[in-house]
Amino acid sequence: MKKRILITGAAGFLGSHLCDRFIKEGYHVIGMDNLITGSLSNIEHLFKLEQFEFYHHDVSKFVFVSGKLDYILHFASPASPIDYLKIPIQTLKVGSLGTHNLLGLARAKKARMLIASTSEVYGDPNVHPQNEDYWGNVNPIGPRGVYDEAKRFQEAITMAYHTYHQLETRIIRIFNTYGPRMRLDDGRALPAFMGQALRGQDITVFGDGSQTRSFCYVDDLVEGIYRLLLSDYVNPVNIGNPDEITIKEFAEEIIALTGTNQKIIYHPLPTDDPKQRRPDITRAQQILGWSPKVSRKEGLKTTFDYFKNLPEFK
């Protein structure tokens, strides 16, 4: 009998790559998405498979799935700063009410549940690089608070279900990740810069570009999630690529890769934009034997090839 896994946010960037991976591993995959930020085009290649089914549903409302479930991956959530500015209440609800509903489902089905948490739980960090024992520096009422606090609540309720109900749970803290199927208009640095290069627009760096991020290629992230799900480790695990770069240097790399003639223009830094971010991945290395394999050079090239072949640029 095939293992059955529910993946929420299945039509999104990470969710769709997870659907592909678990299909490849021989699982029966049930994808769920309300399609407010996800797109069916990310999973349309799966619709012909018997191994895959899709529920168009908002997990902030009661979730019903028939039959047995072995695993639940909760990846539904707006995940880019401009999305959670546009849809703040949904962002709060999917991380809180949605997680509660899915924990209830996991309990009823005796399934193991893995939640997608985030480096945003560290806020604008005072500890660098960030390890899992750091409690973070989050502004609860700032523009990012709706996402950060929903994810912090999500970790808290997941841990409570683990300790109080002995539910099998796993928590991954995801750092900036990129790759094919990101939304070009999601406002994040990489799709923004590549979209601007392809349209012949100037590259918009926010602030003076000295803030840092560390970008992980999606296939590496998916491997980390796969290993964590099948491990017996309950505390949070950072998954990300520690190769840190300033946003200005990142923009310059994308300008060089795309061959655009455009220049960098500077816009104001958004409120509460973290000044630095780099994962300490010692725990993932020790417990999961995991480290990222794809270099930024290689990953950026694959991602640019994807964007430049989208219908709007053909």
Q: Return the active site residues.
A: 147
CB of 194 to ligand UDP, least distance (A): 10
One-letter amino acid of 176: N
CB of 260 to ligand UDP, least distance (A): 14
Q: How far apart are the first and last CA of the chain?
A: 44
Kind and range of the H or E element at 219? helix 218-230
| 177 closest CA partner among 229, 140, 213, 210 | 213
Q: Which is nearer to ligand UDP, 206 or 233 (CB)?
A: 206
CB of 196 to ligand UDP, least distance (A): 8
- Based on the shown chain and the rule CB under 6 A, indicate whether residue 213 belongs to the binding site for ligand UDP: yes
| 199 closest CA partner among 257, 261, 249 | 261
- Based on the shown chain and the rule CB under 6 A, indicate whether residue 222 belongs to the binding site for ligand UDP: no
CB of 85 to ligand UDP, least distance (A): 11
Instruction: Burial-class residue 232 by CB neighbours within 10 Å (0-12, 13-18, 19+).
Output: exposed
- Of 59-67, 206-214, 222-230, 253-261, the window that binds ligand UDP (rule: CB under 6 A) is 206-214
- Based on the shown chain and the rule CB under 6 A, indicate whether residue 270 belongs to the binding site for ligand UDP: yes
CA 151, 153, 158: angle at the middle one, nearest 5? Answer: 95
- Based on the shown chain and the rule CB under 6 A, indicate whether residue 197 belongs to the binding site for ligand UDP: no
- Based on the shown chain and the rule CB under 6 A, indicate whether residue 116 belongs to the binding site for ligand UDP: no
- Give the interface size with ligand UDP as a residue count (CB under 6 A): 14
Radius of gyration, alpha carbons of the chain: 19
- Based on the shown chain and the rule CB under 6 A, indicate whether residue 176 belongs to the binding site for ligand UDP: yes
Q: Which is nearer to ligand UDP, 36 or 245 (CB)?
A: 245
One-letter amino acid of 238: N
| 8 closest CA partner among 88, 91, 115, 149 | 115
